[in-house]
Amino acid sequence: MTDPVFLGDLPDPLPVPGAAVVLDGPEGRHAATVRRIRSGEQVVIADGAGHGIRGPVISADKAGITVRVEQLMTAREPEIKITVAQALAKGDRSDIALEMITELGAVEIIPWQSARSIVRWTADRADRSRTKWQTTVREATKQSRRLRVPPVQQVVSTKQLATKISDHDLTLILHEEATDGLPTVPLPESGKIMIIVGPEGGIAPDELDALTAFGGRPVSISDGVLRTSTAAAVAMAGILLRAR
Protein backbone atom coordinates (compact mmCIF):
# COMPACT_ATOMS: atom_id res chain seq x y z
CA MET A 1 0.00 0.00 0.00
CA THR A 2 1.35 3.43 -0.89
CA ASP A 3 2.03 5.99 1.80
CA PRO A 4 -0.79 8.44 2.59
CA VAL A 5 -0.28 12.00 1.38
CA PHE A 6 -1.10 15.07 3.43
CA LEU A 7 -0.87 18.68 2.30
CA GLY A 8 0.95 21.24 4.40
CA ASP A 9 3.55 23.99 4.41
CA LEU A 10 7.17 22.93 3.92
CA PRO A 11 10.25 25.04 4.68
CA ASP A 12 12.02 26.76 1.80
CA PRO A 13 14.54 25.39 1.10
CA LEU A 14 13.29 21.88 1.80
CA PRO A 15 14.53 20.30 5.04
CA VAL A 16 17.52 17.97 4.92
CA PRO A 17 17.14 14.25 5.63
CA GLY A 18 17.01 13.68 9.36
CA ALA A 19 15.18 16.93 10.07
CA ALA A 20 11.74 16.94 11.69
CA VAL A 21 8.68 18.42 9.98
CA VAL A 22 5.52 19.23 11.92
CA LEU A 23 2.11 18.94 10.27
CA ASP A 24 -0.43 20.79 12.39
CA GLY A 25 -3.58 22.82 11.81
CA PRO A 26 -6.68 21.22 10.27
CA GLU A 27 -4.63 18.86 8.09
CA GLY A 28 -2.50 17.73 11.00
CA ARG A 29 -5.54 17.15 13.21
CA HIS A 30 -7.17 15.22 10.37
CA ALA A 31 -4.09 13.00 10.06
CA ALA A 32 -3.95 12.31 13.79
CA THR A 33 -7.60 12.08 14.80
CA VAL A 34 -9.48 11.04 11.65
CA ARG A 35 -6.90 9.00 9.76
CA ARG A 36 -5.43 7.88 13.11
CA ILE A 37 -1.85 8.03 11.89
CA ARG A 38 0.49 6.72 14.58
CA SER A 39 4.21 6.78 15.33
CA GLY A 40 6.22 4.54 13.02
CA GLU A 41 3.91 4.88 10.02
CA GLN A 42 5.36 6.22 6.78
CA VAL A 43 3.66 9.31 5.33
CA VAL A 44 4.24 11.95 2.68
CA ILE A 45 3.78 15.66 3.32
CA ALA A 46 3.42 17.67 0.11
CA ASP A 47 3.31 21.42 -0.34
CA GLY A 48 0.85 21.23 -3.25
CA ALA A 49 3.35 22.89 -5.57
CA GLY A 50 5.24 19.77 -6.60
CA HIS A 51 7.51 19.18 -3.59
CA GLY A 52 7.23 16.75 -0.74
CA ILE A 53 9.00 14.81 1.99
CA ARG A 54 8.59 11.19 2.99
CA GLY A 55 9.44 9.64 6.31
CA PRO A 56 8.20 7.96 9.47
CA VAL A 57 5.96 9.63 12.01
CA ILE A 58 7.94 10.14 15.21
CA SER A 59 5.10 11.61 17.27
CA ALA A 60 1.36 12.08 16.99
CA ASP A 61 -1.18 13.81 19.20
CA LYS A 62 -4.47 15.63 18.79
CA ALA A 63 -2.68 18.71 17.43
CA GLY A 64 -0.99 16.89 14.55
CA ILE A 65 1.98 14.72 13.61
CA THR A 66 5.75 15.11 13.42
CA VAL A 67 7.66 13.38 10.63
CA ARG A 68 11.39 12.65 10.35
CA VAL A 69 12.54 13.38 6.79
CA GLU A 70 14.01 10.37 5.00
CA GLN A 71 13.43 11.36 1.39
CA LEU A 72 12.92 14.59 -0.54
CA MET A 73 10.45 14.38 -3.41
CA THR A 74 9.83 16.45 -6.52
CA ALA A 75 6.98 15.86 -8.97
CA ARG A 76 8.02 15.12 -12.52
CA GLU A 77 7.18 17.96 -14.88
CA PRO A 78 4.79 16.57 -17.51
CA GLU A 79 5.77 16.90 -21.17
CA ILE A 80 2.16 17.70 -22.02
CA LYS A 81 0.37 20.00 -19.60
CA ILE A 82 -3.40 19.62 -19.77
CA THR A 83 -5.82 22.35 -18.70
CA VAL A 84 -9.51 21.49 -18.44
CA ALA A 85 -12.20 24.12 -18.95
CA GLN A 86 -15.17 22.43 -17.32
CA ALA A 87 -18.67 23.81 -17.78
CA LEU A 88 -20.62 24.20 -14.55
CA ALA A 89 -22.81 21.17 -13.95
CA LYS A 90 -25.60 20.34 -11.54
CA GLY A 91 -25.52 17.92 -8.63
CA ASP A 92 -22.36 15.94 -8.05
CA ARG A 93 -21.33 15.85 -11.71
CA SER A 94 -18.80 18.62 -11.29
CA ASP A 95 -17.29 16.79 -8.31
CA ILE A 96 -16.95 13.59 -10.33
CA ALA A 97 -15.28 15.46 -13.18
CA LEU A 98 -12.90 17.27 -10.83
CA GLU A 99 -11.89 14.08 -9.05
CA MET A 100 -11.10 12.21 -12.26
CA ILE A 101 -9.18 14.96 -14.05
CA THR A 102 -7.13 15.63 -10.91
CA GLU A 103 -6.31 11.93 -10.59
CA LEU A 104 -5.18 11.95 -14.23
CA GLY A 105 -2.87 14.93 -13.71
CA ALA A 106 -4.60 18.06 -15.00
CA VAL A 107 -2.40 21.08 -14.27
CA GLU A 108 -5.15 23.72 -14.26
CA ILE A 109 -8.94 23.81 -14.03
CA ILE A 110 -11.11 26.60 -15.41
CA PRO A 111 -14.79 26.78 -14.39
CA TRP A 112 -16.84 27.79 -17.43
CA GLN A 113 -20.21 29.54 -17.15
CA SER A 114 -21.61 28.30 -20.46
CA ALA A 115 -24.93 29.37 -21.89
CA ARG A 116 -26.62 26.03 -21.24
CA SER A 117 -25.26 25.47 -17.74
CA ILE A 118 -28.16 24.98 -15.36
CA VAL A 119 -25.97 26.00 -12.45
CA ARG A 120 -25.17 29.72 -12.26
CA TRP A 121 -22.29 31.10 -10.25
CA THR A 122 -23.76 34.47 -9.40
CA ALA A 123 -21.57 37.13 -7.81
CA ASP A 124 -22.60 36.21 -4.28
CA ARG A 125 -21.82 32.51 -4.67
CA ALA A 126 -18.86 32.45 -7.09
CA ASP A 127 -16.15 32.55 -4.41
CA ARG A 128 -17.90 29.96 -2.27
CA SER A 129 -18.43 27.62 -5.23
CA ARG A 130 -14.84 28.01 -6.40
CA THR A 131 -13.60 27.20 -2.90
CA LYS A 132 -15.72 24.04 -2.94
CA TRP A 133 -14.16 23.02 -6.27
CA GLN A 134 -10.68 23.64 -4.88
CA THR A 135 -11.45 21.52 -1.81
CA THR A 136 -12.58 18.66 -4.04
CA VAL A 137 -9.39 18.99 -6.07
CA ARG A 138 -7.21 18.99 -2.93
CA GLU A 139 -8.81 15.80 -1.67
CA ALA A 140 -8.43 14.13 -5.07
CA THR A 141 -4.77 15.17 -5.13
CA LYS A 142 -4.16 13.39 -1.83
CA GLN A 143 -6.17 10.33 -2.86
CA SER A 144 -4.14 9.98 -6.07
CA ARG A 145 -0.84 10.48 -4.19
CA ARG A 146 0.16 13.53 -6.20
CA LEU A 147 2.38 16.35 -4.97
CA ARG A 148 0.90 19.16 -7.03
CA VAL A 149 -2.61 20.59 -6.55
CA PRO A 150 -3.99 22.03 -9.79
CA PRO A 151 -5.34 25.55 -9.27
CA VAL A 152 -9.01 26.28 -9.87
CA GLN A 153 -9.19 29.60 -11.68
CA GLN A 154 -11.93 32.22 -11.55
CA VAL A 155 -15.11 31.34 -13.41
CA VAL A 156 -15.08 32.58 -17.02
CA SER A 157 -17.65 33.44 -19.66
CA THR A 158 -17.47 32.01 -23.17
CA LYS A 159 -15.86 35.21 -24.42
CA GLN A 160 -13.22 35.06 -21.70
CA LEU A 161 -12.60 31.37 -22.36
CA ALA A 162 -12.06 32.04 -26.05
CA THR A 163 -9.25 34.46 -25.29
CA LYS A 164 -7.39 31.73 -23.39
CA ILE A 165 -7.14 29.50 -26.45
CA SER A 166 -4.09 31.36 -27.75
CA ASP A 167 -2.25 30.47 -24.52
CA HIS A 168 -2.25 26.80 -25.53
CA ASP A 169 -0.57 24.80 -28.28
CA LEU A 170 -3.79 22.90 -28.94
CA THR A 171 -7.36 23.39 -27.73
CA LEU A 172 -9.84 20.55 -28.11
CA ILE A 173 -13.57 21.26 -27.92
CA LEU A 174 -15.39 18.05 -27.04
CA HIS A 175 -18.46 17.84 -29.25
CA GLU A 176 -20.54 14.83 -30.24
CA GLU A 177 -21.12 16.11 -33.79
CA ALA A 178 -17.48 16.83 -34.59
CA THR A 179 -16.22 15.13 -37.74
CA ASP A 180 -12.72 14.55 -36.35
CA GLY A 181 -12.15 11.90 -33.73
CA LEU A 182 -9.52 12.40 -31.07
CA PRO A 183 -7.27 9.60 -32.42
CA THR A 184 -6.93 11.47 -35.75
CA VAL A 185 -5.84 14.79 -34.24
CA PRO A 186 -2.07 15.40 -34.25
CA LEU A 187 -0.80 16.09 -30.75
CA PRO A 188 2.24 18.16 -29.81
CA GLU A 189 5.12 16.18 -28.35
CA SER A 190 5.23 18.71 -25.54
CA GLY A 191 3.44 21.88 -24.57
CA LYS A 192 0.02 22.95 -23.36
CA ILE A 193 -3.32 21.41 -24.32
CA MET A 194 -6.70 22.72 -23.22
CA ILE A 195 -9.80 20.53 -23.19
CA ILE A 196 -13.16 22.31 -23.26
CA VAL A 197 -16.15 20.38 -21.88
CA GLY A 198 -19.72 21.56 -22.27
CA PRO A 199 -22.61 21.23 -19.78
CA GLU A 200 -25.46 18.71 -19.68
CA GLY A 201 -27.27 20.43 -22.54
CA GLY A 202 -24.19 20.60 -24.73
CA ILE A 203 -22.30 23.54 -26.17
CA ALA A 204 -24.58 26.09 -27.85
CA PRO A 205 -23.95 26.64 -31.59
CA ASP A 206 -22.90 30.26 -31.15
CA GLU A 207 -20.47 29.24 -28.40
CA LEU A 208 -18.98 26.57 -30.63
CA ASP A 209 -18.57 29.13 -33.41
CA ALA A 210 -16.88 31.60 -31.06
CA LEU A 211 -14.48 29.03 -29.63
CA THR A 212 -13.65 27.67 -33.07
CA ALA A 213 -13.03 31.17 -34.42
CA PHE A 214 -10.32 31.65 -31.79
CA GLY A 215 -8.59 28.41 -32.78
CA GLY A 216 -10.37 25.68 -30.86
CA ARG A 217 -10.73 22.35 -32.64
CA PRO A 218 -13.97 20.36 -32.22
CA VAL A 219 -13.36 16.64 -31.69
CA SER A 220 -15.46 13.63 -30.78
CA ILE A 221 -14.28 11.11 -28.21
CA SER A 222 -17.05 8.52 -28.43
CA ASP A 223 -19.65 7.14 -30.80
CA GLY A 224 -22.22 8.06 -28.15
CA VAL A 225 -22.86 11.04 -25.91
CA LEU A 226 -20.86 11.11 -22.68
CA ARG A 227 -21.89 12.87 -19.51
CA THR A 228 -20.19 16.15 -18.71
CA SER A 229 -18.79 14.43 -15.62
CA THR A 230 -16.82 11.83 -17.60
CA ALA A 231 -15.98 13.50 -20.92
CA ALA A 232 -12.80 15.30 -19.85
CA ALA A 233 -11.39 12.18 -18.20
CA VAL A 234 -11.97 10.13 -21.35
CA ALA A 235 -10.25 12.78 -23.46
CA MET A 236 -7.34 13.08 -21.02
CA ALA A 237 -6.85 9.32 -20.95
CA GLY A 238 -6.76 9.23 -24.75
CA ILE A 239 -4.17 12.01 -24.88
CA LEU A 240 -1.98 10.53 -22.14
CA LEU A 241 -1.97 7.07 -23.71
CA ARG A 242 -0.80 8.52 -27.02
CA ALA A 243 1.83 10.64 -25.31
CA ARG A 244 3.49 7.72 -23.47
Segment 134-148, tens digit of pLDDT? 999 999 999 999 999
Pairwise CA distance, residues 197 & 173, whole Å: 7
Pairwise CA distance, residues 45 & 57, whole Å: 11
Q: How confident is the model at residue 49 (pLDDT cuts 50, 70, 90)?
A: very high
For the chain, the domain total comes to 2
Same domain, 66 and 88: no
Same domain, 112 and 84: yes
Same domain, 69 and 94: no
In 69-227, at which residue ranges do the beta strands (DSSP E only) sit?
Answer: 71-74, 80-87, 108-112, 170-174, 191-197, 217-219
Percent of the chain whose pLDDT exceeds 70: 100
Q: What is the residue-averaged pLDDT of the chain?
A: 95
Same domain, 51 and 106: no
Same domain, 35 and 94: no
Q: Tens digits of per-residue pLDDT, 14-41? A: 999 999 999 999 999 999 999 999 999 9
> What's the pLDDT score for residue 224?
80
Same domain, 156 and 138: yes
Pairwise CA distance, residues 218 & 195, whole Å: 10
What's this model's pTM, rounded to 2 decimal places? 0.93
Domain of residue 234, CATH code: 3.40.1280.10
CA-wise closest residue to 211 among 233, 196, 191: 196
Pairwise CA distance, residues 66 & 83, whole Å: 35
Q: How confident is the model at residue 1 (pLDDT cuts 50, 70, 90)?
A: low
Same domain, 52 and 133: no
Cα 98 versus chain centre, distance: 6
Domain boundary among 74, 91, 112: 74
Same domain, 113 and 195: yes
Same domain, 180 and 131: yes
Please give the residue range of the domain that contains residue 68. Answer: 5-74
CA-wise closest residue to 109 among 117, 99, 122: 99
Domain boundary among 17, 52, 74: 74
Contact 221/174 with Cβ under 8 angstroms?
A: yes
Q: Kind of pairing, strands 64-68 and 51-61?
A: antiparallel
Same domain, 105 and 223: yes
